[in-house]
Amino acid sequence: MIDFHSHILPHLDDGPPDWEESLQMARIAVEDSISAMVCTPHLSPVFPDNNRSVVMAAVEQFRIRLQEAAIPLQVYPGTELAIDSDLPEKILANEVLTVNDNHSVALIEMPVDSIDHNIGRFFWNVQSSGVDIVLAHPERNLFLMKNQSMLVEWIQRGVMVQITASAVAGRMGPRIKDFCISLLERQMVHLVASDSHGPHRRRPVLSGARDVVESITGKEEAHKIFCENPQQLVLGIVPDLAPPVALRKTSFLRRMLFR
């Protein structure tokens, strides 16, 4: 499996405080059958210094440390980009990192407690600059829970959706898990990632979430979500994705079984 969204680099954001903990996270990931991770520290008003050169240097140092520790994990550079009206210009100017520095795919952070009224225009501006969008953890947004049609519209316009493994596994509460199940049933999930921040807090594991996803989508689609889609996006290739299906209510019994 490929973990498309992780905060495994130390010192840069709210992830691990040192290289020792980063290596501990890497070992946990490998034990969980993760072969590669995209390192995506925050670039936001809270963490404004994670520009392209800073993250690239940290990833290169991490690769050396992984090799010295004999940990068979491949790592790619990236950033989790906060919504910013100047972001398309910054991407074109090579100031911020796209996924694997491919200038093709950007991981955009979805706010948890709000939705900017200009977010549709922002998505369009990023796409118009030649960059496709992967939207990080929209399942946590309370507004989208009640307004799934908005997320459907974004997907129809080419935005891809990444949800969090711990949310799928139920560790963020039953309401968020129900939302994840609904999104999976409607073919509105294109990636599941750990969004890991440490060896104990939101750990870098995907296998438990994969079991849940397989029970909903089947093994073939789960393989795409955990393996094929992230691999293609790392290479700058947009996968061939099925369109969302019509909303239908999940039975009470089904929800309780998944819980």
- In tens, the pLDDT along 22-75 reads 999 999 999 999 999 999 999 999 999 999 999 999 999 999 999 999 999 999
Of the chain, the end-to-end C-alpha distance in Å amounts to 24
Residue tagged 């689609």 (tokens): 221
pLDDT of res. 33: 98
- Residue ranges of the domains in the chain? 2-258
* Chain-centroid distance, C-alpha 252: 29
pLDDT of res. 248: 61
The more confident residue out of 142 and 65 is: 65
pLDDT of res. 257: 56
Residue tagged 């130390």 (tokens): 10
pLDDT of res. 113: 80
pLDDT of res. 250: 52
Query: Exposed (0-12), middle (13-18) or buried (19+): which is 99, by Cβ within 10 Å?
Result: buried
To the question of domain 2-258 being in CATH 3.30.420.40, the answer is: no
Average pLDDT for 156-177: 96
pTM for the predicted model, two decimal places = 0.93
pLDDT of res. 115: 87
pLDDT of res. 90: 93
The more confident residue out of 259 and 19 is: 19
Average pLDDT for 87-106: 94
Average pLDDT for 83-98: 93
Count CB neighbours of 219 within 10 A. Answer: 11
139 DSSP 8-state letter:
G
Percent of the chain with pLDDT over 70: 95
Average pLDDT for 112-118: 83
Percent of the chain with pLDDT over 90: 88
